Amino acid sequence: MNVSISPSRVHGTTRAPPSKSYTHRAILASGYSDGAVVRDALDSADTKATARAVEAFGGTVAYDDSRQHATLDVTGFDGRPEVPDDVIDCANSGTTIRLVTACAALADGLTVLTGDDSLRSRPQGPLLDAVEQLGGRAESTRRNGQAPVVVGGAIEGGSVSIPGDVSSQYITALLLAGAVTDEGIEVDLETELKSAPYVDITLEVLADFGVETEQTEDGFAVEGGQSYRPADGEYRVPGDFSSMSYLLAAGAIAADDEGLLVRGAQPSAQGDSAIVDVLDRMGAEIDWDREAGEIEVHRSALSGVEVDVGDTPDLLPTIATLGAVADGDTRIVNCEHVRYKETDRVSAMAEELAKLGANVTEQEDTLTIHGDDTELVGTRVDGRADHRIVMSLGLAGLVAEGTTTVGGAEHVDVSFPGFFDTLYDLGAEVHRD
């Protein structure tokens, strides 16, 4: 599907979709339990992949009729996953395959995990190695550290050593599974942990499900023999700051005099709440009422800044688009790990913004957008089958001269299914081709 966006002003009130990161973890945590209700869950392609995995392991996940803020009634497999009857297809969800890999290692038999072309290109090797350190079986069918993977072995826990600068999801997967092993799991980090706030999210969800963890001198540990039991059998998912970043950016570059109010912004462990500080440093008129969970933002003259995305890789596409609108240079640093997402997001944003007229300098670990030498002009751009690239390019269409057509717009279903509907409701000129 193609979506065309013309220069527009946005205004009014909207609500952020539920957090994808929290929803993934809550669904799997509910699977590890004997049952739980997950409220305000994100109903998206990625989170459905995790729900399918829970069902493959012997649980059930029942949805209500809501499109985004769904209620999920989960019957869990109570800490011991069954061996699936068939291959588990994780589609395009890297979070699913990584979290589920450690879960599969608990089963007596073998589980085969795979996904689409993009997923089968992403690194899984360090997590497979960790499972083998715990006495399980974990191997890539192509022997390249990528899916399809075969996992099993009924691990009982132990200690593992794993790099911290490839994916924080490896640590999350091991901590989630470790709570229901006999011995627990201790994770020692070989390198500095990147995307650390995502581990903080995991620790927060585990605590809400009654699972105790600890931070050690070299990493993290979780005792075994624990049970997943959320208070009153329910868990409520907070709003998603990664998705909210596009709404806040839209307000900063395209709001009319009324401004834009975004609800569902309660404080949490999400590192991507840093978008509020980034916009503030760039000169946006933005105010966050943390108690009410509301952020108000107005169109402002923005100036380029330097942003380290070591802990917030999902913000890179949003910040890159903001840099193309701002005066001066916007330098996004510490971003090499952002190349290993659904696509190489560093190159993707550099190349697609360049099509729109941006002057961009790409280096291995740095992306610089030269705002003073940029004049955005609408053209056809490629969303690269990546939801975050699609949404960020959609933002550029709000201010680029002429019409911007984004190819592959259907991929917003991964994290923000109603994104273009939301822009339209806020006043943007949006057309589906």
Domains located in the chain, CATH noted? 2-17+239-432 (3.65.10.10), 20-236 (3.65.10.10)
In one-letter notation, the amino acid at residue 191 is: T
Alpha carbon distance 64, 17 (integer Å): 16
Q: Residues annotated as binding site for phosphoenolpyruvate?
A: 20, 94, 122, 169, 345, 388
Assign 69 a pLDDT band (cuts: 50, 70, 90): confident
Q: Residues annotated as binding site for 3-phosphoshikimate?
A: 20-21, 25, 167-169, 195, 314, 341
Q: Rounded mean pLDDT of 289-309? A: 97
The tens digit of pLDDT for each residue in 385-396 reads: 999 999 999 999
pTM over 0.75: yes
Structure tokens at 207: 């605590």
Alpha helices in 169-227 (DSSP H): 169-178, 196-208
Distance between terminal CA atoms of the chain? 7
Check whether 134 has a pLDDT greater than 80: yes
Averaged pLDDT score across all residues of the chain: 96
CB–CB of 411/390 below 8 Å? yes
The tens digit of pLDDT for each residue in 52-65 reads: 999 999 999 999 86
| Alpha-carbon distance values, 44 to 7, 24, 273, 365, 411 (Å) | 28, 10, 21, 31, 10
- Catalytic site positions: 314
Q: Residues annotated as binding site?
A: 20-21, 25, 94, 122, 167-169, 195, 314, 341, 345, 388
Supply the angle between the helices 20-32 and 196-208 in degrees, to the nearest 10: 40
Alpha carbon distance 100, 86 (integer Å): 14
What pLDDT does residue 68 have? 67
